[in-house]
Amino acid sequence: MSRRYRVIQWATGNIGTRALRAVIEHPELDLAGLWVSSTAKAGKDAGVLAGIASCGVIATTSLEEMVATQADCVLYMRQGTDIDEICSLLASGKNIVTTRGDFHHPRGMDPQVRARVEEACQAGKTSIYSTGSSPGFVTEALSIPLLSLSRRLDCLTIEEFADMSSRNSPELLFQVMGYGAPIGEFDQRKIDYVKHDFAASLAQIADGIGVEVDEWTATGEMSAAVNRIEIAAGVIEAGQVAAQRITISGMRAGKPVLRFRANWYCSRDITHTDWELRESGWRVRVEGDTPLDVGITFPVAPEDYAAFTPGLTAHRAVNAVAAVCEAAPGIRTTTDLPQVIARLP
């Protein structure tokens, strides 16, 4: 970092709260403000909301107050993307690093939305960047150096594995994600949701390496439990949904050339014996003239996952602040930014 940066934290969910704490404890960042969506949190000290000592910055629900606050960057981590809000912040001279996935691939954005955001960036001489762990780190920051070893790519496959069995969230698992239900049609809304962010992230890589993609496809599959299983959130009976996967593929000449697959499961004892379900983590395979097979796992006890996983997404965004603040105005991507380097205490 060439100087200190004043940062506003936008929202305090699981990811936002971890980012807030990281900013407060960062050796070269200063917390300038905190926006919250809940009136119950408004008026409280940011440090207290982050679970540490008071820091003197008071949370607010006011966009106008944050626009008027002097700051270099906003860590935008709210639920949903408010383009009016984002454009106001950008035009006021504040760069944005966001864990929202709407800005991974500028060329693929809605043209009117892109034009509005770019106009706000020019007005404020600011930039905006989407990042996180997945998509972000594993689909872009890790893939770029792996592909730098190649001169011919047949297919890049990124697989994410998430063992949900220790997550004690019955509403999320059974009502939202559909575990414990009879095998049926995969919810198209879930497929489209995953496709939106991951196709955009992979499309950025395709543009960067000069690979033409004919179309992006998305499929969803479910697999049933072979036997009755008890998980932290409840019980899944034999024959009910115990695993699911969504595959996003960039197709060229009828074959996948870039692919992301989310493997989410509550049990590996499932009817689809051909699904290779690994422990939580990622697997990245490069097929071509320099084949690679890279595996990443998390050496964390299941009971510690809830405390560990928010940092995977939040910390990369915090570490990207300096690079984004120093970038040229506009919608920035991993392929045009310098490498994000952590500055540790």
Per-residue pLDDT reduced to its tens digit, 62-105: 999 999 999 999 999 999 999 999 999 999 999 999 999 999 99
Q: Give the separation between CA 8 and CA 6, rounded to whole angstroms.
A: 7
Give how far the C-alpha of residue 49 lies from the chain's centroid of Cα atoms, to the nearest Å. 22
What residue ranges do the domains of the chain occupy?
5-131+320-332, 137-305
Q: By the 8 A CB rule, do 216 and 206 touch?
A: no
DSSP code, position 41: T
pLDDT at position 345 over 90: no
Q: Give the separation between CA 217 and CA 284, rounded to whole angstroms.
A: 19
Q: Among candidates 144, 161, 153, 151, which has minimal Cα distance to 255?
A: 153
User: What does the pLDDT read at residue 268?
Assistant: 96
Q: By the 8 A CB rule, do 128 and 98 touch?
A: yes
Q: For the domain with range 5-131+320-332, which CATH number is right: 3.40.50.720, 1.10.1740.10, 3.90.79.10, 3.30.390.50?
A: 3.40.50.720
Q: Give the separation between CA 201 and CA 335, rounded to whole angstroms.
A: 10
pLDDT at position 49 over 80: yes
Q: Give the separation between CA 274 and CA 330, rounded to whole angstroms.
A: 45
DSSP code, position 99: S
What percent of the chain lies above the pLDDT cut of 70?
99
Token reading at 62: 């006011």
| Interval 286-319: pLDDT, tens | 999 999 999 999 999 888 888 899 999 999 999 9
User: What does the pLDDT read at residue 308?
Assistant: 92
Give how far the C-alpha of residue 112 lies from the chain's centroid of Cα atoms, to the nearest Å. 24
User: What does the pLDDT read at residue 305?
Assistant: 86
User: What does the pLDDT read at residue 303?
Assistant: 83
What percent of the chain lies above the pLDDT cut of 90?
96
Q: Give the separation between CA 43 and CA 55, rounded to whole angstroms.
A: 13
Q: Give the separation between CA 48 and CA 110, rounded to whole angstroms.
A: 39
Q: What is the pTM of this model?
A: 0.95
Structure confidence at residue 1 as a pLDDT band (50, 70, 90): low
Q: Give the separation between CA 24 and CA 171, rounded to whole angstroms.
A: 33
